Structure 1
Amino acid sequence: MIRIDLGVRGLGRVRFAASPLDTAKDLLFTLARTPQVLGPRWRDNAVRALEERQLGLLAAVAGGGPLGYAPDFLRPESTGFDMTLTGGLHLVATTPAERVRYELSAALDGHAWDRSPARRPPRLLLAALDRGEEYLAQRIAGEMEQFWHAALAPHWPGIRARLEGEVATRASAIVTRGISDTLDSLAPNLRERDGVLHLTPLVADAHRIDLEADSAVLVPSVFAARAIFCGGEPPGTPARRGPLIVYPAAPTDCLPRTGRDELLGATRVKLLAELSQPHSTGELATRLCLSPATVSYHLQILHRAGLVQRTRRSRTVLYQRLVRTPGAAAVPDREHPST
């Protein structure tokens, strides 16, 4: 059992965050620990990326050991949704050597790989450690970048849109129902009682953790099936990190769907309202206070459904709502269509 005593002040500092590397780490960990919860396309994509790019070191480090511990430096601390892939990879590559040493020591000697002959650390990991912690961190960052582009990059707009929608939904729930009820609804193995978070770990015989903290970070994941605890180390830990909880945000297979149901949602209604006149993705993102990636994802769906049209002006792509009249072809909703 993991017990995180936040108190009233700490509950008020709970925040949500997500990043490209969060998603990559979640996919790798889920593939290693509970692959059955992944859709077949995601399993195939991830396995193919690891095998074709020969990312054996990344697989050994990110997947965790028998008791579920996976080093946390692959998941840099994020303050929101603004951490880019490049920024996150830089943080991984420049992780302090003492932090890498601390985490891998815990994995090798503490609570991941035990010392029995059947569960010795992978030779690839030991060989990388022989070249030093800085080398290992830089190589892991390089392999994470390859994995990201091979397995996740084509689907990131849709994933990010789901994560942003998840956080917006939770924020609304906090306003209407309160933070306690909202935290209780995040995952079946996570509960809040009197300012204390109680999390039942994935591994039944994992050791008990009791800690006090003045804040916590919640990271929605499209791959996790249960809440997972990260960070939250005792005082004196090198580059100490606060508690972070990954929780399931949506169905695990988040590739864009097809069908009429994907057209529902407040975001697309707002986009259609704005598109009585032509706008670029960047303009729409500014007007609706959304990320360009989120706007692009929703525009692609609306375009496939025949509800918006695309036109190119110089280097800019403009979108505009289409109006259909009985017996007539779709026409732009504007007075003077461009030629």
Structure 2
Amino acid sequence: MRFAVSPVGSAKDLLRLVCFSPGTLAPPWRARATDALTRHRLGLLAVVGGGGPLGCAPDFLRPEPAAFLTDIDTALHQIATTPQEQVRHELAGAVNGHSWDPASGHSAPRRLLQALDRGEEHFAHRLADEMGRFWQSALKPSWPAIRARLEADVTTRASEIAQYGLAEALNRLAPNLEWRDGELLVHPGPDSAHQLTLDAEGVILTPSVFVDCALFCAGEPSGTPEPRTPLIVYPAAQVDCLPPAQDHPLIGEMWRKLLAELSQPRSTTEIAQRLYLSPATVSYHLQILHRAGLVTRARRSRQVFYQRLGAAM
């Protein structure tokens, strides 16, 4: 089991909400995501990536993260270069019974069928391009803060594993996620008829600020051209308090203490001494705060000094 932070996964979760549950989004997020889809004419992405009220979107739109943090360009390349047989396999499932169920009278949208006429390779490249534009417009401005929040969540989960054990930590991840008798169960919603059982050697856990329950991503268990490690998306801490797009979330007493110390420039060693912490711990959190745009840093001789954003170095 390992954790991962996924920028393209976060974009996928935001896309799903704005397409099929916009009322659950805070107004700034809803406006930004809707504007991105309409202004850049991302109709195919909305049709395929939103998932639909009757099923789930193709799994290749959420590629398996190869590392703890996969940058957006690498993830988009993974989408664009999805093997043609994998695209064909997953879209066949979507058209024939997942997102658009013939038995219900919901036919596959014409936009999807027209895009498929040009072949699976073109289809994957176009989806990657539209996902990239959606990311740039809707999510990139807030990604440093969101990334910091997700990384802080993973730190919290690692602490829970150390304190309470793996089983208890897994049971704390989401209300519909349960570890029972050696099995990890993702309970579907009351309206879902989709059930899947997998034997797997591992699982990837990735937090998201755009979900309120656990979601499962693994591809089909049989006949999948490119098997992948099962991935479970779970709600990051304080998902109900998602801030407006322009805000930076502050997480935990540790960050508050660090920011309080940074009203003037201080080195990692100095902060560690003042707060009775190890330099490694302070350095780790300062790097997250810096990536989130909450602190600045400047090198003086052989030392790096950090200061809270807004104060002159």
Same fold (TM over 0.5): yes
The letter of the residue matching 2:233 is V
Check whether the contact 1:65–1:107 (CA below 8 A) recurs between aligned residues.
no
- TM-score, normalised by the number of residues in structure 1: 0.77
Question: What is the correspondence of 1:46-61 to structure 2 with a 5 Å cutoff?
Answer: 46-61=33-48
The letter of the residue matching 2:266 is S
2:292 corresponds to: 297
The letter of the residue matching 1:266 is M
Question: What is the correspondence of 1:62-73 to structure 2 with a 5 Å cutoff?
Answer: 62-73=49-60
1:265 corresponds to: 253
The letter of the residue matching 1:245 is I
2:175 corresponds to: 188
Closer, same or farther: CA 79–172 of 1 in aligned 2, 3 Å: farther
2:94 corresponds to: 107
Closer, same or farther: CA 170–76 of 1 in aligned 2, 3 Å: same
Structure with larger Rg: 1
Check whether the contact 1:285–1:295 (CA below 8 A) recurs between aligned residues.
no
The letter of the residue matching 1:276 is R
Counterpart CA distance in 2 for 1:26 and 1:182 is 23
Secondary structure, aligned partner of 2:206? strand
The letter of the residue matching 1:138 is H
Q: Percent identity?
A: 48
Equivalent in 73, 76, 88 of residue 75 of structure 2: 88
Greater CA drift, 186-195 or 150-159:
186-195
RMSD of aligned C-alpha atoms?
3.2
- TM-score, normalised by the number of residues in structure 2: 0.83
CA deviation profile, 1:255-281 (whole Å, cap 9, x unmatched): 4648xx9486314534647942599xx
Equivalent in 103, 125, 139 of residue 152 of structure 1: 139
Closer, same or farther: CA 176–275 of 1 in aligned 2, 3 Å: farther
Q: Residue 35 of structure 1: CA displacement?
A: 2.6
1:20 aligns with 2:7: yes
1:76 corresponds to: 63
Check whether the contact 2:250–2:256 (CA below 8 A) recurs between aligned residues.
no
2:272 corresponds to: none
Q: Residue 217 of structure 1: CA displacement?
A: 0.9
- Unaligned stretches of 5+ in structure 2? 270-278
Counterpart CA distance in 1 for 2:175 and 2:104 is 36
Closer, same or farther: CA 96–264 of 1 in aligned 2, 3 Å: closer
Q: Residue 235 of structure 1: CA displacement?
A: 4.4
Check whether the contact 2:59–2:90 (CA below 8 A) recurs between aligned residues.
yes
Bigger RCO of structures 1 and 2 (CA < 8 A, at least 6 apart) = 1
Q: Residue 19 of structure 1: CA displacement?
A: 1.6
Q: Residue 321 of structure 1: CA displacement?
A: 6.5
Check whether the contact 2:148–2:291 (CA below 8 A) recurs between aligned residues.
no
Aligned residues: 295
